Amino acid sequence: MPAAQRRRHFFLMALIDALLAGFTLGGMYVLLALGLNLQYGVARIMNLSYGELLIAAAFLALVLFNQFGVAPWITLALVVPLAFVVGLGIYRLLLTPLVKRSRSREALEVDSILATFGLLFLIQGLMLVAFGGNYYSYSFLATPIHVLGTTVAANRLLALAIALVAGCGLYLLLTRTRIGTAIRAVAVDPQSAQLVGIDVRMLAAVAFALGAALVGVAGVSISMFLTFNATFGVLFTMKALIVVIMGGVGNLLGCVIAGLLLGLAESFVSTFLDPGLTLAASFGLFLTILLVRPQGLFGRAGR
Amino acid sequence: MSVTHALREAAPPVANRRPLLIAAAIAAVVGLAILASVPQFANDYVIGLAISLLIYINLATAWALFSGTTRYVSLATVAFFGVGCYTVAVLGEKLPWPAVLLVAAAIGIVLALIVGLTTLRLSGMYFVIFSFGLTELVRQLVTWHETKLAGSLGRYVFLDLRGPHIYWQLLALAVILFAVCWWIHRSRLGFAIRLIGEDEAAARHSGVNTTAAKLAVFVISSVFMVLVGAIVAPRWTYIDPIIAFSPLVSFQVVIMALLGGAARFYGPIFGVVPLVFLFEILIARFPNHFSIVLGVIFLLIVYALPRGVLGWFIDQWMKRKARRPA
């Protein structure tokens, strides 16, 4: 093979690698962000302990797999109702008093940030006591699969499939059911929703709990292929936030596109520029979008 | 009603407060003299504790100066603090010490101007997230620069500045900071930012240049944060991005200022003093439970003391005063 052709061949391979890695990563980000989008877009709670719930679900999958040999997809079926109840509990116990107390949306936002900050450290601290600062991972479906001339681990593809199912399920729930329509109405305008007989406070609780269930799903899926420790939560919260704000708060489709975009951007920076710059690139992208279009790429009119 | 008129209305009558002010001034001078003489009789451990107290008094007061009054919650404290550390790490041995501090302050002003001009248009939530993202971005960029271009992650700071020197500098900085806060509190600028905190739209409609006011206070507050970082850097001797840009510092500053009460400039001290001692004990005795206690304190503040210790005392005092017929 002549040198030029070989170089082109290598470039093409790297491109396919980056695309594939970008899509699997992006799918993960979408799944990660869907729950936060519900919590912030509908319940108007900026939940900074979001990533901690994700790590908690990951630890649950780890313990069940290592101690009892329970496969992650069974954990998945378990974690959805469990996380839903936990989310409902958090909303009822911790956040309802704040919702009642706050006079304006801004006041609620600041209060909820501070309260969920406390929750962040509390959950993280509990996990640190239980698991220490060690890194954990387990091996499940780590077999390589050949796709388009490169290899991907089967568990990553499974996680991508879970992300697709969860995303489509949420989409159908929101667009095809009565409660989904009501949730969307609350996301658009809580005051008007109240006028047409929607119980806003109840639906906000449901949306918050649904968000918790989704983050549980994300946590179990991520635990299949990622090494994690008790302090990783903040990183995931930030990633989810970036995707939510990029896509536009409360915008499901925007969330999907933004998640994929972020995954691709990171994988391209890491492949073609420098792996050390991926985090800087994602924060840079985020800050730029925040400045230029605070309402998000596909958001409705900003505040 | 014009702003100046409102300000004059709001200002308390001066005459009957004069003896109180003189007494306060004498007490401040005496107290300061005692504080300044601490290194003469204290051992290294006490000086170390006093230094952490002063670090957080400076940071929390500077934070409250901007975030407490305007209610723009900033999580970027450590970004400025870390920039101060790194200025010293890079320039510490090349320039005389006062020049290093001046350069650090200048860098702080430029950084705060850039950040302020771009972000202060963002409202509430977005500002919080931006300030946190900014810290992470700065840390990632510094990490990348150090590993890729400078060759090693950490830097050593060998300067002949011992505990007492750092203590005195931080004390002096705190005095200046309090003077600046007091001056801003009484000036038109202070009135403007308090108005912004109450209702930004109303402030804008009554003729306050909100962007300029916010920017000015943000820059002042940031410069103090940079200077704290610069002054403390020689104490550590070894600096890397994880130490200098630890997000925990930002969180601790917020929680201390809020516990004390961020609405008044002398409020944060009431949160700093108990929490620095508490954290000291926690790290020594129960290092594993640090996060849990931090979380519980956060929740306690939000639910039980939303206006801080100082706000709580003021509320109690007002209640008693209201009960007693005047």
SS (H, E, C) chain B: CCHHHHHHHHCCCCHHHHHHHHHHHHHHHHHHHHHHCHHHHCCHHHHHHHHHHHHHHHHHHHHHHHHHHHCCCCCCHHHHHHHHHHHHHHHCCCCCHHHHHHHHHHHHHHHHHHHHHHHCCCCHHHHHHHHHHHHHHHHHHHHHHHHHHHCCCCEECCCCCCHHHHHHHHHHHHHHHHHHHHHHHHCHHHHHHHHHHHCHHHHHHCCCCHHHHHHHHHHHHHHHHHHHHHHHHHHHCEECHHHHCCHHHHHHHHHHHHHHCCCCCCCCHHHHHHHHHHHHHHHHHCHHHHHHHHHHHHHHHHHHCCCHHHHHHHHHHHHHHHHCCC
Which positions in chain A touch B247 (Cβ < 8 Å)? 234
Question: Which residues of chain B are at the A interface, by a Cβ-Cβ cutoff of 8 Å?
Answer: 71, 73, 118-119, 122-126, 128-130, 132-134, 136-137, 140-141, 143-144, 147-148, 247, 251, 254, 258, 288-303, 306
Question: Could you give the CA distance from residue B111 to residue B128 in angstroms, rounded to a whole number?
Answer: 17
More confident residue, B103 or B199: B103
Nearest CA in chain B to A45: B125
User: Rounded mean pLDDT of B297-319?
Assistant: 78
Judged by DSSP in three states, A177 sits in: coil
Q: Would the CB atoms of A122 and B303 count as touching at under 8 Å?
A: no
**Which range (A116-120, A139-143, B129-133, B192-196) has the least confidence?**
A139-143
Most confident of B65-74, B79-88, B144-153, B292-301: B79-88
Question: Could you give the CA distance from residue A165 to residue A144 in angstroms, rounded to a whole number?
Answer: 22
Of A206, A205, A201, the residue nearest A190 (C-alpha): A201
Q: Would the CB atoms of A280 and B144 count as touching at under 8 Å?
A: yes
Q: Would the CB atoms of B137 and A129 count as touching at under 8 Å?
A: no
Q: Would the CB atoms of B292 and A121 count as touching at under 8 Å?
A: yes
Nearest CA in chain B to A105: B124
Question: Could you give the CA distance from residue B296 to residue B115 in angstroms, rounded to a whole number?
Answer: 32
The interface pTM score, or ipTM, of the predicted complex is 0.73
What pLDDT sits at residue A84?
92
Residue B32's pLDDT band (boundaries 50, 70, 90)?
confident
What pLDDT sits at residue B9?
47
Predicted confidence (pLDDT) at residue B224 exceeds the cutoff of 90: yes
Question: In this prediction, what percent of chain B has a pLDDT beyond 70?
Answer: 93
Question: Could you give the CA distance from residue B186 to residue B14 in angstroms, rounded to a whole number?
Answer: 13
| Closest CB from B130, B141, B290 relative to A125 | B290
Predicted confidence (pLDDT) at residue B156 exceeds the cutoff of 70: yes
Residue ranges, chain A, pLDDT below 70: 1, 106, 142, 148-149, 299-303
What pLDDT sits at residue B7?
45
Query: What pLDDT digit, counting tens, does each position of B36-89 carry?
Result: 777 777 788 888 888 889 999 999 999 998 888 887 888 889 999 999 988 888
> Does any CB of chain B come closer than 8 Å to the CB of residue A108?
no
What pLDDT sits at residue A142?
66
The C-alpha angle with vertex B42 and arms to B38 and B44, in degrees rounded to 5, equals 120
| Closest CB from B128, B137, B299 relative to A115 | B299
Q: Would the CB atoms of B292 and A287 count as touching at under 8 Å?
A: no
Nearest CA in chain A to B286: A129
Beta carbons of A303 and A295 less than 8 angstroms apart: yes
Enumerate residues 6+ apart whose C-beta is below 8 A from B73.
Answer: A110, A113, A114, B67, B127, B128, B131, B254
For residue B171, the distance in angstroms to the closest alpha carbon of chain A comes to: 30
What pLDDT sits at residue B56?
92
Which positions in chain B touch A280 (Cβ < 8 Å)? 137, 140-141, 144
Query: What pLDDT digit, counting tens, does each position of B273-283 carry?
Result: 888 888 888 88
What pLDDT sits at residue A300?
57
> Does any CB of chain B come closer than 8 Å to the CB of residue A113?
yes
Q: Which amino acid appears at position B74 of this protein?
A: S
Residue A96 token pair: 């309802």
For residue A57, the distance in angstroms to the closest alpha carbon of chain B comes to: 19
Question: Could you give the CA distance from residue A84 to residue A53 in angstroms, rounded to a whole number?
Answer: 11
Question: Could you give the CA distance from residue A148 to residue A293 in angstroms, rounded to a whole number?
Answer: 36
Predicted confidence (pLDDT) at residue B4 exceeds the cutoff of 70: no
User: Rounded mean pLDDT of B230-259?
Assistant: 84
Question: Could you give the CA distance from residue B222 to residue B225 in angstroms, rounded to a whole number?
Answer: 5
User: Phi and psi of B308, rounded to 5°?
Assistant: 80, 170
For residue A12, the distance in angstroms to the closest alpha carbon of chain B comes to: 27
For residue A153, what is the enclosing H or E element? strand A150-153
Question: Could you give the CA distance from residue A11 to residue A24 in angstroms, rounded to a whole number?
Answer: 20
For residue B137, the distance in angstroms to the closest alpha carbon of chain A comes to: 5
B241 CB neighbour count, 10 Å cutoff:
23
Q: What is the pTM of this model?
A: 0.79
Task: Using CB atoms within 10 Å of the CB of residue B13, give its burial: 0 to 12 exposed, 13 to 18 middle, 19+ buried.
Answer: exposed
What pLDDT sits at residue A1?
59
Query: What pLDDT digit, counting tens, does each position of A40-64 carry?
Result: 888 778 888 898 999 999 999 888 8
Q: Would the CB atoms of A277 and B144 count as touching at under 8 Å?
A: yes
Nearest CA in chain B to A131: B288
Beta carbons of B176 and B59 less than 8 angstroms apart: no
Number of H helices, E strands in chain A: 12, 2
A136: DSSP letter: B
Question: Could you give the CA distance from residue B55 to residue B231 in angstroms, rounded to a whole number?
Answer: 9
Q: Would the CB atoms of A117 and B298 count as touching at under 8 Å?
A: yes
Nearest CA in chain B to A118: B295
For residue B198, the distance in angstroms to the closest alpha carbon of chain A comes to: 11
In sequence order, the β-bridge partners of residue B239 are: B155
For residue B9, the distance in angstroms to the closest alpha carbon of chain A comes to: 28
Q: Would the CB atoms of A113 and B128 count as touching at under 8 Å?
A: yes
Cβ under 8 Å to B: A residues 85-104: 94, 97-98
> Does any CB of chain B come closer than 8 Å to the CB of residue A122?
yes
Burial letters for B98-126: b for 16+ Cβ neighbours within 10 Å, e otherwise? eebbebbbebbeebbeebbeebbebebbb
